[in-house]
Amino acid sequence: MRGAAATSTCCSIRVRRPFPSPMRHPAALPARWRRSWTCWWSIRTPPLKSSRPFCAPCNWFRSTMSSEFALLLDASRRRYEAAAELLAASLVRYRPFDPVRAYTPEELEPYDALCDRYMRAVEMAIRCLRTVERARLAVNSESYRDLLSNAAKWSLIEDVEQWFRMRDLRNRIVHDYLPEKLAEIYVLIVREYAPELLRLREKLRQLPS
């Protein structure tokens, strides 16, 4: 039946996808179908229950999908590195914030830049971790905690709860305007969270392209 869901086993990779009848090999499907196929096991790893070699079309399918994921991962990693570089530049310019002192708008610019760059770095880090997860598992986690758990499993991050606090701080920055609260935020960014973001940058650089 055209459009009905079907399950096929080829080279020990079990895939499930609605596709027209008669069933066709992935290499014979249109590009829009090939891109949306979902493997029950990662396409980047060999079959778990069989030592049979992949047939030529399946090797082509695996190499094509791996190349697409590699390009996405490289682009996401470069965007995150750019955000992390800006954050590192703000750390160099940082001077302790005095909540009692009356700062001029020009003097507050480095602190505003620090917060903006921190928020962008956190956002780019989360996106990059999702790209890494999709490249390794072919799917994304349904929750933020599952994403962080996978990242910790791959030694990209160390403390899952810290990344929850980092995301919460990103949300706090938008609402806190009192000097005392801002001073606390700056200290958290400079002493705890920015170094963690820069460590992630180094670990992402070690990933294979």
CATH of the domain at 99: 1.20.120.330
Q: Do 24 and 94 share a domain, yes or no?
A: no
Cα torsion 136, 140, 145, 146: sign: negative
Cα torsion 20, 25, 26, 32: sign: negative
Question: What pLDDT score was predicted for residue 97?
Answer: 94
Using DSSP's 3-state secondary structure scheme, residue 209 falls into coil
Q: Do 122 and 33 share a domain, yes or no?
A: no
* Mean pLDDT computed over every residue of the chain: 77
Beta bridge partners of 39: 15
User: Which of 15 and 176 is assigned the larger pLDDT?
Assistant: 176
**Cα separations (Å) of 106 from 50, 87, 102, 109, 113?**
65, 19, 12, 5, 11
Q: Do 12 and 46 share a domain, yes or no?
A: yes
Enter the tokens of residue 25: 């090999």
**Cα separations (Å) of 180 from 99, 185, 187, 189?**
6, 9, 11, 15
Phi, psi of 9 (to 5 degrees): -120, 120
pLDDT tens for 134-192 read 988 888 899 999 999 999 999 999 999 999 999 999 888 877 777 888 999 999 999 99
Query: For a pLDDT cut of 90, what percent of the chain falls above it?
Result: 53
Question: What pLDDT score was predicted for residue 17?
Answer: 42
173 falls within a domain = yes
- The residue among 25, 19, 26, 23 whose CA lies nearest residue 3 is 19
pLDDT tens for 26-66 read 445 455 444 444 443 334 444 434 444 445 444 444 454 56
CA Rg value for the chain: 23
pLDDT tens for 69-123 read 788 889 999 999 999 999 999 999 999 999 999 999 999 999 999 999 999 999 9
Question: What pLDDT score was predicted for residue 31?
Answer: 52
Q: Do 83 and 141 share a domain, yes or no?
A: yes
Number of domains in the chain: 2
Query: By residue range, what is the domain housing residue 50?
Result: 5-54
Burial class of residue 93, CB neighbours in 10 A (0-12, 13-18, 19+): exposed
Q: Do 18 and 111 share a domain, yes or no?
A: no
pLDDT of residue 14 exceeding 90, the answer is no
Question: What pLDDT score was predicted for residue 104?
Answer: 94
Q: Do 157 and 97 share a domain, yes or no?
A: yes
